Amino acid sequence: MNIVFATLAFLLQASEAGEAAQADGLSGFSWTFMIVSMAAVTLLAVWCYARIFRGKRHFDPDGTGPEHSPVEGKVDQEGGV
Amino acid sequence: MASATEATHAREHWGSRVGLILAMAGNAVGLGNFLRFPVQAANNGGGTFMIPYFISFILLGIPLMWMEWGVGRYGGRFGFATLPRMFDRLWRNPIAKYLGVLGIIMPLIVFIYYTVVVGWLLGFSFFSLTGAYFGEGATGVADYLASFQNIREGSGGWVGFLFFGIVLAVIVSVLSRGISKGIEKLALFGMPILFLFGLVIMIRVLTLPETAVGSPGEGLALLWTPEWSALNDASIWLAAAGQVFFTLSLGMGSIHAYASYLSEDDDITLTGLTTASTNEFAEVILGGTIAIPAAVTFFGISGLAAVSGTYDLGIVAMGVVFQNLPGGLIWGQLLAFMWFFLLFIAGITSSVALATPAMAFLQEEFGIQRATVAKILGGLALLLGFANIWWLAGGFLDEWDYWAGTFGLVVVAFIEVMIVRFAFGIDNFWVELHHGADLRVSNVFKFILTWVTPLFLTLLLGWWGYTEALPKLMMDGVASDVERSTRWLSRGFMAALVITVLVLIHRAWQRNPGVSIPPSDTREDFEVAR
């Protein structure tokens, strides 16, 4: 969730900065290119972490590691490659 | 000493998946994200650079990243964390293990000089809090940095050496504690701080008022305005591909080492992608919105050229920027501390990753205890780090940085891709990659890994070899005899390290000629196919 809040904070800040930036010569295309690129990178990270936290596999509190993961990976469950 | 077989049976594992991701991200997120990336982008057309950068990330970065995770976990199944054993398993040829020497030497060399640089950053963190260099202009901060760097002329160098020693002590302590209790704990503590500090500084930079010479918006415009005609320039594509390479720490051997400590059924597709996306967040969003917009605000576009070297921008220019922030001296000192401490964390988490292949090699092959190996590496880094400091002005560190930290990475990745592609087989690798996977990788990436990535790497290596490495080898542009001698001395040290590790590999195979531990799972499909 931290990363989501951080993203929101960033986008809010970026939108304010954007108004100033446009006045400084950041063209409409450049502004769009920057926001789309940053949003894509952020969304990829958020999507990955969301899947990781939903999965909850590989939990090993003693720090020595299980010999095998407690459950198969999703790809194996669906029938492998 | 325990035997190699005993040592491999006692292998550690990561304590948690998030710990692994943050440790891997700590490996990848380094000074390159905050310093090299903005400089490369600004020097290669800004927005024009970003287009090949994203294309390279997809065609080169992600496939190679998955390959390194896959090869690393595969090596871990047999109880080993280093490239000589991994290459030997992937390609049953007597030469393979010797090619793997690069996967120990390159990160070791980078580890040594990186630690020196991390020492400067820790020093600047400390002196930001005390305000020691505040009140100086760009020349004053540059002189302050030089006093850190130059141990031969003036007492400041000894202060820099002291911080180098502190950094080394921290690294030895972390390495001595092992994977889950040392490296993972460092990442769990350090990476959230890094991102928090990065976000705070980013917001402050983006909200800076316009000055007489520039504004943050002009800095962003520099980074995000493409010049379409420049896309024909091959050097921009190669610079972008190179940056992707460095930022993900490909070709270092450290991803392999970390991945080898996974359990054999653990996912690597989703976990690897998460690490890469974390790194990209740090690079594109934090790295792209701090140094250049801040420097343009206070130096202007025209003044940026004078401070666009990596350390000029990250240390000198930013050192001046924080002195001129609105809101008073205390706020400036605090933000300066956060910036340099952020770089320190980025550096130290990368340093421990870089030391891991050599650590694992000595532990696994010669049965030396972890704490002892950590002290041996600390001692070696102290000795050779001192050589880097002593001969810094003569280009000693530059030689190591280029051959091990730049060109060498591409060589290692090229060898690895060729071994996986032609000896191990992409089909076998695809099975290995998807074992335990939480994310099915599209077959498009299989095609990319089979054809595009090897071709891309061959072009990259060939182009750089011709345009950069050859002139560098011949020392074109180095006029001073003293500097040429220093650079030859630097190469001599590197050659001595390579020869030493080659001998150790030979000895290791005399002790344990084959892999003594059979794979413990039932992935018979490609074992039979081989």
Residue B390 is predicted with a pLDDT of 87
For residue B157, how many other CB atoms are within 10 A of its CB? 19
Q: Nearest-CA residue of chain B relative to A5?
A: B199
Q: Find the CB nearest A10 among B192, B285, B436.
A: B285
Residues on chain A touching B216 (C-beta within 8 angstroms): 17, 20-21, 24
- Reference B420, options B69, B120, B154, B173; nearest CA is B69
The pLDDT value recorded for residue B337 is 96
Query: Which one has a higher pLDDT value, A63 or B35?
Result: B35
Longest dimension (CA), chain B: 70
Per-residue pLDDT tens for A25-49? 678 899 999 999 999 999 999 999 9
ipTM for the predicted complex: 0.89
Q: Which residue has the tokens 């390609």?
A: B91
pLDDT score of B256 = 97
Which pLDDT score, from 0 to 100, does residue B145 have?
83
Greater pLDDT, B72 or B45: B72
Query: Which two structure tokens, joined as six digits, stand for B87?
Result: 């290459």
- β-sheet bridge partners, residue A59: B16
**Fold category of B4-529 in CATH:** Hydantoin permease (1.10.4160)
| Per-residue pLDDT at B369 exceeds 50 | yes
B399 Cβ partners below 8 Å, 6+ apart? B487, B490, B491, B494
Tell me, what's the pLDDT at B144? 82
Facing A48 at nearest CB: one of B206, B273, B435: B273
Identify the weakest region by mean pLDDT among A70-74, B292-296, B440-444.
A70-74
Residue B152 pLDDT: 62
Local structure of A59: helix, strand or coil: strand
Interface test with A, best of B218, B220, B524 (most A CBs within 10 A): B220
Q: Is the confidence at residue A8, as pLDDT, over 50?
A: no
Is the Cβ pair A64, B13 closer than 8 Å? yes
Overall average pLDDT of the B259-283 stretch: 94
Please judge whether A33 and B220 are an interchain contact, meaning their C-beta atoms are less than 8 angstroms apart: no
In 10 A of CB B234, how many CB atoms?
A: 12
CA B527 to chain centre: 33
Given a cut of 60, whether residue B459 has pLDDT beyond it is yes
- The answer to whether B394 and B27 have CB atoms below 8 angstroms apart is no
Looking at the partner chain, which of B18, B225, B285 has a beta carbon nearest the beta carbon of A42? B285
Per DSSP, the three-state class of A56 is coil
Q: For the ranges A16-30, B39-53, B278-292, which has the lowest average pLDDT? A: A16-30
* Residue B430 touches partner A, C-beta closer than 8 Å: yes
pLDDT one-digit tens code per residue, B14-49: 888 889 999 999 999 999 999 889 888 888 888 899
Q: Nearest CA of chain A to the CA of B263: how many Å?
A: 6
To the nearest 10°, report the CA torsion of A12, A13, A18, A24: 170
Q: B218 and A58: CB-CB below 8 Å? A: no
State the Cα–Cα distance between residues B342 and B114, nearest whole angstrom: 15
Q: Tell me what pLDDT residue B205 has.
A: 94
Weakest mean pLDDT among A65-74, B1-10, B68-77, B382-391? B1-10
Nearest CA among B290, B338, B297 for reference residue B314: B290
Chain A residue numbers with beta carbons less than 8 Å from the beta carbon of B218 are: 24-26
Question: B290 to chain A: which residues are within 8 Å by CB?
Answer: none
**In chain B, what are the domain boundaries?**
4-529
Whether residue A58 contacts residue B16, with contact meaning beta carbons closer than 8 Å, is answered with: yes
- All residues of chain B having their beta carbon less than 8 Å from the beta carbon of residue A70 are none
Chain B residues within 8 A of A69 when measuring between CB atoms: 263, 265-267, 436
Closest residue in chain A to residue B274, using alpha carbons only: A48
Q: What is the pLDDT of residue B175?
A: 97
